[in-house]
């Protein structure tokens, strides 16, 4: 009798897993928002604070989205922070040279895509044993190159078009709101890029192949998928998004500086794992990545408002990452049992 009850409970738990996968991260995000609002009722959900959070996560969300598509293939990219820094310095030098505004806007995106392509070709053509090795090497190569071309000094003063992308605002007074209640342009950029990536991954053949490679690369090869070609595309897209993040950061700070993106790859990876992506590959959603970025952004913002030490913030975020990975391992074990 007891065995039957245990089997029934276990069965109910297994049935709940798909719902947890779909909605668990959103429920966690909602709970965190409510808790932080209770602790900081006058400030946390104010228009000014929420818009500041979106500005802060704007460039970070681009890096996280790029890392996500790499993780879906069961890979990793440790170089995205350095790619962003190199793209930012190339943008700054191009702008200082007096190039047209559209060249200044396109050059970091092209630089990021080129760096990502180097990673992709290095992993596939050089047959590196794991993407960790290749991207660890390029982490130093790209950051060192950025310092070499800039002399290791900040460069400031960009065109109005660049500043608009990172720090522009859309007036909402026509909706009856106050002038201070504006919509950051970066919010629109986040929405557009995430929507396009969702369409790409869920409604294109290449997007479905990316998930297939992460699920089982050998089966993908047997099905006729050119795995190496897809991996080059994936790492190129990751670099392109890092370059786009550099463009947003340039507009937000109006400067290119050597320390940009330092350790940003760790935050990007953390956001993906918290958002439900799996290191085992083949799973995860764009919405989950956005939720992961928001959780980290809101958590840091809420803890700063409560004047919590940055050291305790590191401990808390690290604990959340460990728990997220542990849940991923449990999910894989339960899926095997199922």
Domain layout of the chain by residue ranges: 58-262
How far is it, in rounded angstroms, from Cα 136 to Cα 216? Answer: 24
What per-residue confidence (pLDDT) applies to 87?
97
pTM of the model: 0.90
What per-residue confidence (pLDDT) applies to 137?
96
Q: Helix, strand, coil % (nearest 5) of the chain?
A: 75, 0, 20
Residue 249's nearest CA partner among 187, 188, 163, 184 is: 163
Q: Which residues pair with 155 in a beta bridge?
A: 256
How far is it, in rounded angstroms, from Cα 161 to Cα 159? Answer: 5
Kindly report, residue by residue over 236-266, the tens digit of the pLDDT: 999 999 999 999 999 999 999 989 988 899 8
Under 8 Å between Cβ of 92 and 150: yes
What per-residue confidence (pLDDT) applies to 154?
93
Q: Residue 153, Cβ neighbours under 10 Å: how many?
A: 10
Low-confidence ranges of the chain (pLDDT < 70): 1-23, 328, 331-338
Q: Which residues contact 335 (CB under 8 A, 6 or more apart)?
A: 17
What per-residue confidence (pLDDT) applies to 110?
97
Quick one: CA dihedral 111, 112, 117, 120, positive or negative?
Answer: positive
- Cα–Cα separations (whole angstroms), residue 331 to 62, 213, 322: 27, 20, 14
What per-residue confidence (pLDDT) applies to 54?
92
What would the two tokens of residue 285 be?
A: 């959603």
């Amino acid at each position: 009798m007891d065995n039957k009850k245990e089997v029934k409970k276990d069965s109910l738990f297994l049935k709940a897993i798909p719902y947890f996968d779909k909605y668990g991260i959103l429920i966690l995000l909602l709970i965190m928002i409510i808790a932080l609002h209770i602790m900081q009722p006058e400030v946390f959900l104010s228009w000014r604070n929420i818009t500041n959070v979106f500005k802060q996560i704007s460039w970070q969300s681009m890096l996280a989205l790029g890392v996500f598509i790499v993780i879906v293939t069961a890979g990793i990219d440790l170089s995205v922070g350095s790619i962003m820094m190199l793209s930012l310095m190339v943008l700054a030098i191009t702008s200082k040279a007096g190039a047209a505004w559209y060249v200044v806007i396109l050059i970091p995106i092209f630089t990021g895509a080129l760096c990502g392509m180097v990673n992709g070709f290095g992993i596939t053509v050089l047959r590196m044993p794991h993407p960790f090795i290749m991207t660890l090497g390029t982490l130093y190569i790209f950051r060192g190159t950025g310092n070499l071309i800039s002399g290791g000094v900040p460069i400031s003063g960009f065109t109005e078009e660049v500043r608009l992308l990172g720090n522009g605002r859309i007036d909402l007074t026509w909706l009856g709101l106050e002038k201070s209640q504006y919509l950051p342009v970066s919010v629109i950029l986040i929405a557009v890029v995430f929507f396009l990536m969702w369409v790409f991954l869920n409604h294109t053949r290449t997007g479905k192949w990316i998930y297939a490679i992460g699920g089982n690369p050998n089966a993908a090869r047997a099905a006729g998928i050119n795995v190496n070609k897809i991996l080059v595309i994936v790492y190129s897209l990751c670099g392109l998004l890092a370059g786009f993040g550099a463009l947003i950061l340039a507009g937000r700070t109006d400067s290119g500086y050597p320390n940009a993106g330092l350790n940003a790859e760790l935050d990007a990876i953390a956001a993906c794992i918290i958002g439900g992506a799996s290191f085992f590959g083949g799973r995860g959603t764009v919405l989950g990545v956005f939720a992961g970025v928001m959780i980290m952004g809101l958590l840091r913002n809420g803890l700063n408002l409560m004047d919590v030490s940055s050291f305790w913030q590191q401990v808390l975020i690290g604990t959340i990452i460990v728990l997220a990975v542990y849940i991923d391992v449990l999910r894989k074990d339960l899926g095997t049992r199922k």
